[in-house]
Amino acid sequence: MNYLTSKLNKTFLFLTMLLGCCLNSQAGNRDSLALTPPMGFMTWNKYGEDINEQLIRQIADKMAADGYADAGYQYIFIDDAWQGGRDKRNNIIPDPVKFPSGMKALADYVHSRGLKLGIYSDAAPLTCAGYTASYNFEEQDAKTFAEWGMDYLKYDYCHAPSDSAVAHERYKRMGDALEKSGRKIALGVCEWGQLNPELWARQAGGSLWRISYDVRDMWKDIVKQGGMGILDIIDITEPLYSFAGPGHWNDMDMLVVGLEGKGGPSSDLGGIGCTYTEYQTQMSMWCMFASPLAMSHDILNENAATRRILLNKEIIAINQDALGKAARLVQRIGECRVYHRQLTNNRQAIAIMNPSDKAQRISLPLSFLGKSAKYDFRDVWEHKNTSVKKAWEGKLEAHETKVFVVTEK
């Protein structure tokens, strides 16, 4: 009996290890779909339900012609409200008025511009906006998305049970369906972080997972109606740095840079707009934390200040660094916070953020960087180099973030 019990225990242990290896292998296969954080344009914050194929084509033309594709913004993410129900064979179809040419023709057009196309659905019968979703049609819809030529699926969680095990199961069903679809389609898990997706979303097939409720066009939430400002999402993301890495990312939601309080859904729940100092801080910290970068402003009518932030290749290079290490909080000096991120080629990135409402002057000792007697500081926003010895000293305006790439001298 002892021998049998021992044998069963060893068998159970072996099967558990085998299952774990299979899950890790599946996650590893999916990781290759997003070795660096995906970058692109998402329709929701600016346009909401007011989308159509002409708009998507115009955005593709703009991104290809005006430097966004060259800067690394590969995707156009079509969010909710594209659906037109199901046909007599239960195939999901696009709204024939908004997308009269069909999704395959649209994907072909976007691909011809050197870009990729993403689509949206939900792990329930209906989406957040009340349109047809994919629950119980996972394999059929995944096959349809593949036939259309989609490269990404944002998979929401409205109208679904608020249970972590159920969420894991529903996302895994779609992750498995995408795996079998015959096309490489990255899965964005949009569960809003309430059920700890950082613990299971990668195993479910996700390349990234939302870690907060929807971002609003504001510095921080002061109306307390459920909206999330830039600072609120930074606070939530701080402790999750260890879950990010090549192929699996903490998604901090869309960039609100340039919306100026004129967006659609982003203007709800206190979204009155931000200063460009605050927008620059969002870009800085999204890049430091290795979040996906999804623009959401009026890209067809943008200003120079917005382009300066979104097209800064030095800050983008931090976001896209192949090492895939997310920044972590290493110091607090007065009101200011200091974040550190390891980069390739023995380089380091630091961000010094002033979340307070008043300017701050600080002296930052550099002992956390190592034992070098001197460092070269590259200011990625000012595009200037400075030699620094024992401490960095400077002034930060209210809500400002300074970012440096640091190398030993």
Task: Provide the β-strand partners of residue 350.
Answer: 340, 404
Helix (H, G, I), strand (E, B) or coil at 268: coil
Q: CA distances (Å), 68 to each of 161, 196, 263, 301, in order?
A: 38, 33, 20, 14
CB-based contact 192:123 (threshold 8 Å): no
Active site residue 253: no
Options 79, 156, 253, 321, the catalytic residue = 156
Active site residue 122: no
User: Of 22, 17, 36, 23, which Cα lies nearest the Cα of 204?
Assistant: 23
Residue type, 380: V
Options 79, 80, 214, 321, the catalytic residue = 214
Return the number of other C-beta atoms located less than 10 Å from residue 225's C-beta.
10
User: Residue 52: CB partners within 8 Å, gap ≥ 6?
Assistant: 97, 98, 99
H/E run at residue 20: helix 2-31
User: Of 3, 39, 23, which Cα lies nearest the Cα of 249?
Assistant: 39
CB-based contact 335:231 (threshold 8 Å): no
User: Residue 329: CB partners within 8 Å, gap ≥ 6?
Assistant: 238, 337, 338, 339
Q: Which residues are catalytic?
A: 156, 214
